A and B are shown apart, each in its own frame.
Chain A
Amino acid sequence: MRGACAAVLALAAGCGGSEAGERRIASNLGTYTVSLRSIPHPIPANEPFELVFRVAPDAPDLAVEVDARMPQHFHGMNRVPRVSRRPDGSFRAEGMLLHMSGRWELTIDISQGGRTERAQTDVELP
């Protein structure tokens, strides 16, 4: 049953992917492109998962925060994910869990030098 409860990373307009399971999304003002995939893929319902992603253009002083919310229910996750930079330059967000079925908004906030821009995509959890 749980296997059937897998999320679909809905494609935001103008987004695409290259590798299997990888999605590319543009930040909301178009400054950054985020290529991300979930582990496992697809995102399981009510089970921990990770996100691995790259940000382009990248810079050593980029700071990244990851979150997920259900806008129609006015709540977010019950967990606070941890984001770390991996040796290959990509980012890894651990400790994520979507505990309800429905539409989630996955957000990646990218900050540099006093400016923050949000990249986001939808996750439909059956």
Chain B
Amino acid sequence: MNPLLRGAFAALICLQEGEPDRHSAAVRPSLHEFGAYDAPLEKLAAPSALAWGKDDRLYVADTGNHRVAVFRPDGNPVAQWGVAGSGPGAFLGPEGIAVADGRVFVSDTGNGRVQVFDEEGKHLGTWPGLERPRGLSVTGGRVCVAEAHRVRVFTPEGKVVLDLGPFTAPAGVAFEGKGNLYVSDTGNHRVRAFDPEGKLFAEWGGWGEPPEFLSRPGGIVWMKDRLAVADTGNHRIQFFDAAGALLAQWGAPAATAHTGNGWLHAPAGLALSPSGDRLAVCEPLENRVQIFSPAPPPLARRVTTRPWWHAHRSAPVPVRPETSPLAAMADADNHFVYFFDVTKNVSSRLVFRAGGYGRKLGEFNGPAGVAYDPATRRAVVSDRGNRRVQVIELPADPSRGVRVLAAFEPGRLAPAGPGFQRERSVPGGVALDAQGNIYVVDSGNAAVLVFDAGMKFVRTLHRADEAPALWEAVGVSPDGKTVAVTDALAARVFAFEAGGRLLRTLGEGLRRPSGVAVDAKGNVYVADALLGEVLRYDSSGAPAARWGGRGIQPGKFCAPGAIALLGADQLLVDDAGNHRGQGLTLEGKSAFFFSKEGAPLLR
């Protein structure tokens, strides 16, 4: 750890006796932890859900490895099954798991189905026809599945008995003993509670950081008299009574990334042991599972400050946009877009900020990407949660604020037709070419929608086959002749020519492509979130270079996301899991960091 940070860290924590109160986040030691950000991916890769079975077995949806992995609580592996694919027993990015009555139910998210196994991994059956299933809960002969925009409850024979919604990407569901059902409505940052007939009787949350508020709640589990919620974006677990009153919270974001034992980093899945004495938590960014005692700890370390990546000096210091190279970054957790001055040999600093959580024009809900054109001072922002793209403009006069010009709904403007359903449209990454054309990934339809600078629809780029796909990021060469898009499920990058013809498929060496950029020569740069690497392919599609690796040191990454070119000789990487951006040379040498703190981190 950086000595300066260690000093600050020590100064900001106090030790206190007694139970953690409901207003203080607390760090507590875990009983066990296994997997780690720098462990081999064969151990665990971005696990997003888990469930406890008999004989103290912990079943983990090992999302990045497309399999189910079974462990003892101390981390010793017991079994595993599944490979990447779409046949019986194969998976594409499973994000939900439940164990009941000797059966293991797995949300095979990328294949749009739930698969059922016995506890040894023997395939028993498949429920097809689901839309991106995630959270699962099984009790009393009822199976509840959270899908992209709804939650359905089935009988064991597959008959639908409840159909609830709409929700936005719900990630967690939990039955309570009386048959009430709780849903973690992730994209709306809330929890909703339904009685056995499907009548809503409580809801709480709303986006925010204070206790009782939630940020991208993920897995939930009912614990005798309380609901535990993985408050992913706030890096903590919150506990509520049946009506939503806050009872307690613990967990706190790490003082530095990859801090272990008790600190939490974007917890996603929760599972309670059958005896109720242990709570398992998985953290996809850390490739890790931690197991805690749910009982109040005798000694808790209360945390009185924000984590290292939060802005204590967050007020932007504006510059004239034409005088400095700027890096734009979308912060989905805090619903802002930031612009950093990344002038060489000058400490990177925050110079403009746009957004804030909300629905009004100029506000965002989980912005999924941003592209900035310094020639026009305009940026396009994929306002994913509001299903729109906003066009904003940096001021020529630095004393003025960022101006919102317009917005459009890509899914409404693109013509419906085979392979494109408006109701499934969700914007993902965005890119701009030198002519100002706007390229928007439609993640729900596995397409790239192209609009001109006046927001008029131009064309759709998509593949002809119906293979499962999750398109997330897009890059375009300055002349607009090459458009590259990432497919996280297929672990491929597809390169199209401007007219829509598929030029080539890039895939060698990729595990989970998460960002892509194309330079003027047609070289394609790809960030891979699982590998923590950046890979370069030349204009013929041949692998040309790769660098990085998982870590926090300069030149290393943790779950990198967006990637962009800065001029002709530098690359910007959204080093998302490390809560910072990095600038690199095209040879992969770390040149600078940028973050909301306004100062380089850990140099």
Contact = CB atoms under 8 A, between A and B. Distances in A.
Interface residues of A, number: 18
A86 B245 CA distance: 45
A1 to B, nearest CB: 29
Contacts of A117: 405-406
Contacts of A118: 361, 404-406
B502 interface: no
Interface stretch (A3-11, A88-96, A107-115): A107-115
A72 B401 contact: yes
B159 interface: no
A56 interface: no
B412 A113 contact: yes
B360 interface: yes
A67 interface: yes
A115 B401 contact: no
Chain A to chain B: the 4 pairs with minimum beta-carbon distance, closest first: A114-B412, A71-B401, A28-B405, A114-B409
20 contacts: A28-B393, A28-B406, A29-B391, A29-B406, A29-B454, A71-B401, A72-B401, A74-B356, A105-B401, A107-B362, A107-B404, A109-B361, A113-B412, A113-B413, A114-B412, A114-B413, A115-B408, A115-B413, A118-B405, A118-B406
A58 to B, nearest CB: 18
Interface of B: 356, 360-362, 388, 391, 393, 400-401, 403-409, 412-413, 454-455
Given A29-B454, A67-B360, A109-B361, A116 B401 contact: no
Interface in A70-84: 71-72, 74
**Majority SS at the chain A contact face:** strand
A35 interface: no
Contacts of A29: 391, 405-406, 454-455
A107 B388 CA distance: 19
B338 to A, nearest CB: 15
Contacts of A114: 408-409, 412-413
Contacts of A67: 360
A113 B410 CA distance: 11
A71 B388 CA distance: 23
A113 to B, nearest CB: 7
A115 B453 CA distance: 13
Contacts of B454: 29
Given A29-B454, A65-B361, A67-B360, 6 more contacts: A29-B455, A72-B401, A114-B412, A115-B409, A117-B405, A118-B404
B573 to A, nearest CB: 29
A113 B412 CA distance: 8
A28 B361 CA distance: 13
Contacts, number: 47
Contact of B403 (A72, A109, A113, A120): A120
Contact of B408 (A27, A65, A116): A116
A72 B315 CA distance: 11
Contacts of A107: 361-362, 404
Contacts of A71: 400-401
B403 A115 contact: no
Nearest to B455: A115
Contacts of B408: 114-116
Contacts of A72: 401
A105 B404 CA distance: 11
Nearest to A67: B360
A114 to B, nearest CB: 3
A75 to B, nearest CB: 10
Contacts of B400: 71
Contacts of A109: 361
Between A28, A65, A113, A118, the greatest number of chain B beta carbons within 10 A of the residue's beta carbon is seen for: A118
Contacts of B404: 28, 107, 118
A116 B406 CA distance: 5
B360 A115 contact: no
A107 B391 CA distance: 15
A72 B413 CA distance: 34
A25 to B, nearest CB: 13
A7 B454 CA distance: 34
Given A29-B454, A67-B360, A71-B401, A116 B407 contact: yes
Given A115-B408, A116-B361, A28 B455 contact: no
Contacts of A27: 406
A71 B362 CA distance: 11
Nearest to B393: A28
Contacts of B405: 28-29, 117-118
A106 to B, nearest CB: 13
A71 B403 CA distance: 10
Nearest to A118: B404
Contacts of A74: 356
Contacts of A116: 361, 388, 406-408
A28 B406 CA distance: 7
B444 to A, nearest CB: 16
A115 B391 CA distance: 11
Contact of B407 (A105, A113, A115): A115
A42 to B, nearest CB: 23
B479 to A, nearest CB: 24
Contact of A28 (B388, B403, B412): B403
A105 to B, nearest CB: 8
Contacts of B361: 65, 107, 109, 116, 118
Contacts of A120: 403
